[in-house]
Amino acid sequence: MPGERILIVDDAGFSRIAIEKTLAPLDCEYVHAPSGEIALQLLSSQRFDLVLSDYIMPEMDGIELYRHALGSKFRDESGPIPCPPFILITAHASKELEELARHLGIFAVIQKSSQERDLPKKAAQAFRDTSCNMQIVLIDNEALRLKTLSQ
């Protein structure tokens, strides 16, 4: 997965560093955000292949961040910036949270206690699933546009 860009959102700096170390074998580029608000600013101006967000944070939790990102109409010079897949990381996983996340379209919920084991697999799966659902279409021999295969 070299070259993939991952946004890591957590109010605890040590947690962001631990997540990055856990994913080091994937050889990705990592950007850190200490809050949901800063994450939204980054998502509004940059493209990411995956967002890893803590669930419980002050001011804006991971679910709220996902809802804002999904509902926003961010653009850059290439056009609309799509909402990347989200993985929630939490010490407080529950069946209700997992069901809500699945219903909203969040890719996965990972328990912090199993993060080292599960996160690399889920991140790689998110990259595979996202790339399998996209097709690159050449337009006028210059511009590239992403189109979902289901359309």
Q: Where are the domains of the chain?
A: 5-148
Q: Residue 52 in contact with residue 123, Cβ under 8 Å?
A: yes
Q: Residue 151: pLDDT above 50?
A: no
Q: What is the mean pLDDT of the chain?
A: 87
Q: What does pTM read for this prediction?
A: 0.84
Instruction: State the pLDDT confidence band at 134, using cuts at 50, 70 and 90.
Output: very low
Instruction: State the pLDDT confidence band at 131, using cuts at 50, 70 and 90.
Output: low
CATH, domain range 5-148: 3.40.50.2300
- Give tens-digit pLDDT for 5-57: 999 999 999 999 999 999 999 999 999 999 999 999 999 999 999 999 999 99
Q: Which residues contact 106 (CB under 8 A, 6 or more apart)?
A: 63, 66, 86, 87, 88
